[in-house]
Amino acid sequence: MAELIPFLNTCLPNMTSGEKRLARRLEAFLEDDYLCWYDIPLVGNVVILTLLFCTRQEACCF
């Protein structure tokens, strides 16, 4: 099971229905070594990336 950052329960109020569905599937079906980030602020408080996931040994996917 993938690890979501922040935890899924803290993100649910801000997610659309499609993002919720995708996050639940990523958490359930990805292997244990995957990390998934939601709403990543890159420039101050402006959210540029909605979802980022990567493995601990390999590259990241945007």
pTM over 0.75? The answer is no
Q: Give the chain's domain count.
A: 1
Residue range of the domain that includes 11: 3-61
Q: Compute the Cα dihedral for 18, 41, 5, 2 and give only its sign.
A: positive
Q: What pLDDT is stored for residue 1 in this prediction?
A: 77
Mean pLDDT in the chain? 79
* Residue in the block written with tokens 């959210």: 47
Q: What pLDDT is stored for residue 13 in this prediction?
A: 87
| Percent with pLDDT over 90 in the chain | 3
5 residue type, one letter = I
Q: How many Cβ atoms sit within 10 Å of the Cβ of residue 49?
A: 12
**Which secondary-structure segment (H or E) carries 42?**
strand 34-43
Whether the predicted pLDDT of 62 surpasses 60: no
Q: What pLDDT is stored for residue 7 in this prediction?
A: 84
For residue 12, what are its two tokens?
């649910």
For residue 49, what are its two tokens?
């990336």
